Amino acid sequence: MSLREGSLDPQADSSVSFLPHLEAKIRQTHSLARLLTKYAEQLLQEYVQHQGAPFGSPGFSPPRLPVAGLSAPAPGHAGLPLAERLRLDAEALAELPPLLDAVRHRQAELSPRALRLLRRLEDATRQTRALGAALEAVLAALGAAAPGPRREPPAAPGPAGVFPAKLLGLRVCGLYREWTRRTEGDLGQLLPGGPA
Amino acid sequence: MLAGRPRPSAQSARRTPPLPLLLLCVLGAPRAESGAHTAVISPQDPTLLIGSSLQATCSVHGDPPGATAEGLYWTLNGRRLPSEHSRMLNASTLALVLANLNGSRQQSGDNLVCHARDGSILAGSCLYVGLPPEKPFNISCWSKNMKDLTCRWTPGAHGETFLHTNYSLKYKLRWYGQDNTCEEYHTVGPHSCHIPKDLALFTPYEIWVEATNRLGSARSDVLTLDILDVVTTDPPPDVHVSRVGGLEDQLSVRWVSPPALKDFLFQAKYQIRYRVEDSVDWKVVDDVSNQTSCRLAGLKPGTVYFVQVRCNPFGIYGSKKAGIWSEWSHPTAASTPRSERPGPGGGACEPRGGEPSSGPVRRELKQFLGWLKKHAYCSNLSFRLYDQWRAWMQKSHKTRNQHRTRGSCPRADGVRREVLPDKL
């Protein structure tokens, strides 16, 4: 499959090896994904600290209820073609920023003195947008169909109950970690030397 | 090209619904297994006084109908509550009574959770247990170069209400104008606020602090001040410390008056402090008045000293108030020349310009004048004696020997006086 047809196998198509800029872009995006995976882990730890026990306790098993608009990577995600996985990654990264922003707003009410947590949530919102845009650029350069235009979500009031809001924030931070980790893994397969 | 790709969500993929809908997904969505139950805790997110009691219920419902509260239990902040605090109100409702509540452990509220028999979470509610705020007090304010106003205060009850307490600094012109609210908080500590502009001079302000939390509010006493009475300025710039020729016990300090206030009429006061390099004890020279230079005397020879200067712009525009000291300037270091002879300890700011200054001589003079003031009944005597003493001082650098004789000024019996050398 050639680049024009949307090939994602740089080893199979020798034309990719003559595209150093694209390779550089892929490396850069992969590095960003790796960095955000680390930040997402830190964000999750910071988040649970401020919610109080049992959040963060070893045996804590909150209900893994779906967040409308975004779910965790499906169990069969790893078995999908690389192009499809990357498209799903891009779609998830596009859904995450408003969710992270909503969590930040709620946490600003619940824990206004948790400045580091609030800053991490703000950074995550911005950085996820950047990673999503970079991934979309890579997909476009590879000829893979990029996600369509997004509609901005309407401004929303906070959830009614505090405990459900804490659970929701935990779920969003968990999904953020899962999707950045998945994006890092999927992009890694685009790097030269990655699996065909 | 791939077609029919799976979407990240089973529901609408492109739009994030409002948060209440997201919340409904969290609260009400069934688990993957059939026959899942959910519950509702009442009250939701109550606010309570420390020491009060809580009565709560966990009402379970789900599919199939007729879900039972059998086996349910409570945890608070992750710790299982003893069963004696719970009882079944009816088949589907478990009640809880907690007495003598402690203050909340975290700002986001204590997590009260209702669990199913298998430990899974059915519902949660956050408790806010604390105290209403007490009156903030001890408001102090200062203005940097008359351009702004920074205030700091102490929260009542040392700030520990166990609840998030919001502090709002308010201010208004005393005789007219509306209430204004300060917006830049935590500028010089957790309980401070900075008003950066639009402040009037020559007219008093009223300033107060309002504290509010879930349990109530409190207001401080009103502080009334004129900006001109609380002016501070920058530390004096360009502080230079240098040796005084070969004098091993002296250093000369020079500085420049703070430029921000140079156009205003005020009598600056300065203070100098200095310390030996490896000491933490500062010595302060207080009586520098309006000079921009000073000579430190009585220092140890061959010793490195750190010196700082600060300024008090008192009397600005005729203000009668004391003014507020600036921060200390950055430390400036210099060393006294080495000497074989042991130097005297301690010192004070000496007048410049040729007058011999010696620590022990100055001490003796002060002691002598102090004794005279206490014992002399001839009010003019001390001045004459001082004039002659000063003349004597100018003729010699050091005084080693003094002769003590009884004086001729009538005074009380039995009082021993020390007088000047024979020359007088």
Task: List, for residues B205-250, the tens digit of each pLDDT value.
Answer: 999 999 999 999 999 999 999 998 899 999 998 999 999 988 999 9
How many beta carbons lie within 10 A of that of residue B15, not counting itself?
15
Task: List, for residues B284-305, the tens digit of each pLDDT value.
Answer: 998 777 788 999 999 999 999 9
What is the rounded radius of gyration, in angstroms, for the C-alpha atoms of chain A? 18
Spatial separation of the C-alpha atoms in residues B390 and B355, rounded to whole Å = 10
- Chain B neighbors of A158, CB-CB under 8 A: 19
Spatial separation of the C-alpha atoms in residues B224 and A24, rounded to whole Å = 64
| B80 Cβ under 8 Å from any chain A Cβ | no
CA distance A196 to chain B (A): 18
Q: Say which of B12, B20, B110 has its CB closest to residue A160.
A: B20
Contact B10 A71 (CB under 8 A): yes
**8 A C-beta contact, residue B173 and residue B226:** no
DSSP string, B295-316: EE-SPPTT-EEEEEEEEE-TTG
Contact A160 B1 (CB under 8 A): no
ipTM, 2 dp: 0.83
DSSP string, B170-194: EEEESSS---EE--EESTTSSSEEE
Q: Which two tokens stand for residue A180?
A: 């950045």
- Chain B neighbors of A168, CB-CB under 8 A: 19, 22-23, 26
Q: What is the crossing angle of helices B19-28 and A162-188, to 10°?
A: 100
What are the Cα distances from residue B321, in Å, to B232, B266, B304, B312? 12, 12, 37, 11
Contact B16 A114 (CB under 8 A): no
Which of A175, A190, A188 lies closest to A72, judged by CA? A175
Sign of CA dihedral A55, A60, A64, A70: positive
| B119 Cβ under 8 Å from any chain A Cβ | yes
Question: Where does B95-188 have alpha helices with state H?
Answer: none
A55: closest chain B residue by CA:
B78
Q: Would you put residue B401 in left (φ > 0), alpha (ψ -120 to 50) or beta?
A: beta
**8 A C-beta contact, residue B205 and residue B225:** yes
pLDDT at B241: 96
* Span of B167-171, B183-187, B253-257, B317-321 with lowest mean pLDDT: B317-321
pLDDT at A136: 94
Q: Which two tokens stand for residue B230?
A: 């609380």
- Chain A neighbors of B45, CB-CB under 8 A: 161-163
* Span of A63-77, B47-61, B65-79, B358-372 with lowest mean pLDDT: B358-372
| B325-335 exposure pattern, b = at least 16 Cβ within 10 A, e = fewer | bbebbeebebb
Which of A87, A82, A86, A89 lies closest to A9, judged by CA? A82
In chain A, % of residues over pLDDT 90:
60
For chain B positions 149-208, those within 8 Å of chain A (CB to CB) are: 164
| B8 Cβ under 8 Å from any chain A Cβ | yes
In terms of DSSP bridges, do strands B192-195 and B332-335 run parallel, antiparallel, or are they unpaired?
A: unpaired
Q: What is the mean pLDDT of residues B381-390?
A: 53
| B77 Cβ under 8 Å from any chain A Cβ | yes
Task: List, for residues B37-90, the tens digit of each pLDDT value.
Answer: 689 999 999 999 999 999 999 999 876 566 688 899 999 999 999 999 999 999
pLDDT at B159: 64
